[in-house]
Structure formats: C-alpha cells, structure tokens
Amino acid sequence: MHFEQFYLGCLAHASYLLGSEGEAVVVDPQRDVEIYLKAAQEQGLTIRHIFETHLHADFVSGHKELAARTGAKIYIGAKAGAAFPHVDVQDGFALNVGKIRVSVLETPGHTPEGICLVIADLEKSPEPWAVLTGDTLFIGDVGRPDLSKTHTPGELAALLYDSLHNKLMKLADHVLVYPAHGAGSLCGRNMRAERASTIGTERLTNYALQIRSKQEFVTQLTSNLPTRPEYFLADAEINREGAAPLAELPELPEIPAPELKRMLEQGVIALDVRPGDQFASGHVPGSINIALSGQFASWAGTILGLGSRPVLIADSTEQLTEARLRLARVGIEDVRGFLPEGVVGWTRAGFTLAELPQITVQDLGERLHDRPVHVLDVRREAEWQAGHIAGAHWWPLDRFRSELPPIDEKTVAVHCKSGYRSMIACSLLQRAGHPNVVNVVGGFDAWQQARLPSVTGAPVEA
C-alpha cells in the first residue's frame, strides 16, 4: 500500500493519497491538484476515486477539477446535497482500491454530512489500520460545531459527541488518526502540532474526549468559540457546487500607479504581500499588508472577504503568482490586477511611500514607564488568557473586519504572538487614518524571551 499525506501549511490542511495495485484514491484535495497527479504518476498509480469528508468551509476544494482530469468518481456524505456528479455514501459503504479497503463512518457534528474513512491494508490484515477523520477528530481537539445553516451549534455538538463516542472511540487504540487539519486551523481551537496520532493517544489526551457528560460536552464546545470568518459559509457553498479549474482564471491586468491612486481614493483595497519589514520600510499609503510568509490565505479571506477584489502589490512575478494561487484556494478569485514594479513603480510615478514605525519589546517596556502608550493585543482569547502585558487592551485581529478597535490619539503599540498579525492590524489602522501606530517587533514571544513581566486573566477590550 502507498500512503502519502500532503500538508499545506498556509491553510493547516492535510490531504491524502492512498494507492494499491495501480489504483489510487485522494481524500480532501486542495484547490491546486497537480500535486496528486504528479505523486500518482511517480508511484505508477491512476486516480480512480476522490473522497470528501465534508463540505469544507475554510478552503476551496479541487475535487471537481481532479475528477474532470482523471475520470475519478467523487464520494461524499449523503447529507451534503452536493450539486456535482458524485456518489452519496453512508454508514456501511465500503470500497476496495486494490488491496486497500475504505469503509465509511457517518460522523455528523462538525457538519451534518461529515464522514470518516476507516482504512484497512488487506495485504497485512482485514482489521482497521488507520482512520481519516476529516474535521471530526483532530490531534488534541475536535471540530467546531457552528458551521451549519440547518443545525444550531448545540445540535451539532450533541451529534459530534455521539459520533466520537459511539463510532470513533469504538476503534482499537492502535488505529492511526489522520485528520484534515492541524494547528493553526480555525476549524478547531486546541490542535496540537503533530500531523498524526492514534485512537489510544487521543482517548487519553484529547480534552474533548475527557468530557463524559453529553450536556457538559455541548456546553464546552459551544462556549467561547473563535469568531467564524464570513467566508466560511461561502466556501462551503462553492464546494457544494464544485469550483472551476484554476486554469480558467483570467490573466491579471496591470494597474498603473496613477490609476491605483484614484482607486484607493475610492476605497479599493490594495493588498501588499511583501514581508512585514519591507512593508514597514515603505509602502503605498492606504495599502494593507498580509505577508505571504504566514497564513496568508486564511487571513486574506478573514480580513478582506471573498468579494474584496484587491489590487496586488508585490516585488516579483513569483510573489504575484503565489498570491494569486493562495487567494484562489480560499475563493478570492476576482482580483482586479497588480501594480507594475510594485512600490518601485509607485515611486517612479512620483508618489511618496508611507512608513510604519516599529519598536522592540525593550523599547516598549521603557515607554510604558516613561509616558502613556496604548498597548493593543490582537491575539486570540486563549492566547491572551495564557499571558499578556499588564494594562494592554485586547481586540483580536479576526474582529477587525466587522469593527476596528476604538483608540485615542496616543501612540498605539500593536502586538500579536510573533509580529505577523500585528503588522496586518497596523496596516488596517493606518488605512483607517490612525497616525500614531507602531508595530512591536517579535510580539509577545519576544516579550517573554526578554523576561519582561506579564499577567494572566480575562480580556480587557480596547
């Protein structure tokens, strides 16, 4: 048996290729499907089957394009209401792929149509070897229950409890667990960094599986959920229909600097994808920085929305190509164009660049003693509660799309964990007209490494 995990770090997304005797199955494919075609060819396999464990909400799947290019069948839970050619599957459905058996468990909870796939390597044993758990069971966590239009979070959480205890926890302790997401995904709250686990390990260490009462499980799963990005429901609908092939995306037009300046005055979004330090040194005034180095696509979807139609600002053709692909992975396809030569083209047109001041954590510590500084923490609530700067105010970045934090004319020092999210926040505040914004280099990680004082406790909003 050939088994391969593909991990897409920017979306914390895991997909899988399984093959035997020349035949292969792909599970939960990402939008750009060349990686599966290449891997299958290298292994002498032909992709005949595609499984979706559910209608993904945090990214656009490539199932429809992969099926069109290979002739493979798509299998999905019967409750998905899928509008593309597919096979509905339920409990008891089993498929032999060479000497691999793929058996379906219906596991509603994260979504109503969720399924898990129990894998048996028949060359070794008819007993389960692994289970691909989709977004039902993660490493250290379980799927969030608030992504459905037809079920309340409480209803889904109750279904999830039953799916976990009546189905997945019936598997033997040695069975390997391979989920569809890892740490950093917004589909859960407390995922660990490992890419795989076992049923036994999760039974002993996963906080959600330690909750014995269904009512308490429902209460905990529906309390203090991280903000659900607006694009999640839209992505689920795109996946219900099936996305168009990436090759159908039109070429990006050039938008000269004078035209971009007029667009910015009309409220058009300019998205600068360069590293944060470069953005801080000089950027198009009013542009937003979401650097390609981090979870670019997730934050672009969260902050900008699928209908944002941004103009891209980059240093190279490679950056533009990468940004376009990663935006398409979350459903931002209608990009207006790009600024030729990036910020160089802007200055050549006679326009000035804006700067974003940055300070070290040592400088921030001194300034907190010497003069008033408004410290703004844009991390998530669990991060804040684990430790934060005394006197800081909390306003998580994923809330910026709906409402910017109320801040006065004092200097506002913005920080996150490492500096990636705070640079996004600073650019949004600058764009909104706040003149005294500074970014804290290295974020709270650097603050702790410098052994500067911190406290714990409930959030104090800005």
Q: What is the CATH number of domain 249-348?
A: 3.40.250.10
H helix intervals, 295-434: 296-304, 317-329, 342-348, 361-370, 381-386, 420-431
What is the per-residue pLDDT across 318-352, written as a single tens digit (0 to 9) for each?
999 999 999 999 999 999 999 999 999 999 999 99
What is the per-residue pLDDT across 188-207, written as a single tens digit (0 to 9) for each?
877 999 999 999 999 999 99
Mean pLDDT, rounded, for 383-409: 91
Distances (CA, A) of 391 to 28, 95, 406, 415: 44, 58, 16, 13
Domain boundaries, the chain: 2-241, 249-348, 358-449
The predicted structure's pLDDT at residue 460? 66
- Strand 358-359 and strand 337-338: the pairing is unpaired
- Alpha-carbon gap, residue 133 to 153, rounded angstroms: 20
Q: Given this chain, do its domains 249-348 and 358-449 carry the same CATH topology?
A: yes
Q: Which CATH number fits domain 2-241: 3.60.15.10, 3.20.20.70, 3.40.50.2000, 3.40.50.300?
A: 3.60.15.10
- 289 pLDDT band, cuts 50/70/90, is very high
Q: What is the CATH number of domain 358-449?
A: 3.40.250.10
- 32 pLDDT band, cuts 50/70/90, is very high
- Alpha-carbon gap, residue 3 to 178, rounded angstroms: 11
- 462 pLDDT band, cuts 50/70/90, is low
Supply the pTM of this predicted model: 0.93
For tokens 């037809």, name the residue.
150
What is the per-residue pLDDT across 423-461, written as a single tens digit (0 to 9) for each?
999 999 999 999 899 999 999 999 999 999 999 977 767
- Alpha-carbon gap, residue 19 to 265, rounded angstroms: 54
For tokens 């004082």, name the residue.
453
Between 380 and 269, the more confident residue is 269
Strands of the sheet with 130-134, listed across from one edge: 94-97, 100-106, 115-121, 130-134, 176-179, 197-198
